[in-house]
Structure 1
Amino acid sequence: MNFKQELFTQCENFVNKRLQTVEEIITSNQKGLQSETKNSAGDKHETGRAMLQLEIEKASQQLAGITQMKEILNRVDVSKTSKNAHLGSIIFTNKANYFLAISAGKLTASGKHFFAISVSSPIGKLLLGKVENDEVTFNEQRIKIEQV
């Protein structure tokens, strides 16, 4: 398995795990909301319902973000190669290695460390379209692109 496929699979697993967690939170809070209706009365009841409702709304927003990540991953073509950094590129620099896809944090593939970053992140925007030997400045550090 190549780096790109390995990193892509890890990003898919990251999104699926987050999806499962958020769905569990929503289900749990919906059950809590139903039991609040049956068990309580008065101000305490209203506060409990409001808190659960807020948690459900927060989880629903996270769900929308996860859906967006899935859509981005669907546009990644791991077989596509290019000299220019694009969605799905692996970029080796003198500071760190990056996988332009979704923000999934630090990943390891074949013993090498990569940061899975979104093309809309600050560093992702800088790297997008760059080629080997280009330099970018991020957080007052010069970063040289060694390979795309």
Structure 2
Amino acid sequence: MLTGNYDKIKLKNHINDLISGKIKTLEFYLNFTLDASKDLKKTAKYDSFREEMQEEIYHLDRRMATLKAMQQKMKKVSTSETGYVQLGSLVITNKARFYISVSLGEFFYDDVRFYAISEESPMAQIMKGRKTGEEFILNNIHQKIDKIL
């Protein structure tokens, strides 16, 4: 059984810290790449390399926008207990622990594995509105909701 006593405020803060850490790392790489692209000589010899750097900057910018959107979404995530699965719920099943918040994926908190999933994910959609004791099947995996916080 995966149930335990979990503090949703601390869990939410942990996710916010994870997102902030990812943003800081991404800012470092973005600034490094921007600085490096400015140092390239403007000759035909470096055109393909300059194009690759621009493509990398574009990808880093898109990832940064995604992380900033996650930060904004986390502001809407409630930390109060819920009687049914919704945004902000911590759902403990017989297989895993799901925090309905943002699409961050697997993370560890106090050496315990959790999955931060968005409310639009198939897992959250199938659990939405369900209560403790209810069961569901997704991808041929049967799960029972043991606890909702």
TM-score by length of 1: 0.88
Distance 2:100 2:64 in 1: 21
- Per-residue deviation, residues 111-147 of structure 1 (Å, max 9, x unmatched): 5432221112221221222111221111201111111
Q: 1:110: how far off? A: 5.0
What is the aligned-residue RMSD (CA, Å)?
1.8
Equivalent position amino acid for 2:67 in 1:
I
Q: Measured at CA, do residues 142 and 17 of structure 1 come closer, stay the same or move farther in structure 2, by a change above 3 Å?
A: same
The corresponding residue for 1:68 is 69
Aligned residue pairs, count: 144
Distance 2:65 2:109 in 1: 28
TM-score by length of 2: 0.87
The corresponding residue for 1:129 is 129
Matches within 5 A, 1:17-96: 17-36=21-40, 39-42=41-44, 44-78=45-79, 80-96=80-96
Equivalent position amino acid for 1:65 in 2:
T
8 Å CA contact 1:85, 1:131 repeated in 2? yes
- Per-residue deviation, residues 44-85 of structure 1 (Å, max 9, x unmatched): 31111101100000001101111110111010121x222111
Equivalent position amino acid for 1:8 in 2:
K
Q: 1:98: how far off? A: 1.1
Q: 1:2: how far off? A: 4.7
The corresponding residue for 2:144 is 144
Q: 1:11: how far off? A: 0.6
Q: 1:16: how far off? A: 0.4
Segments of structure 1 that go 5 or more residues without pairing to the other structure are none
Distance 2:105 2:129 in 1: 21
- Higher fraction of helix: 1
The corresponding residue for 2:114 is 114
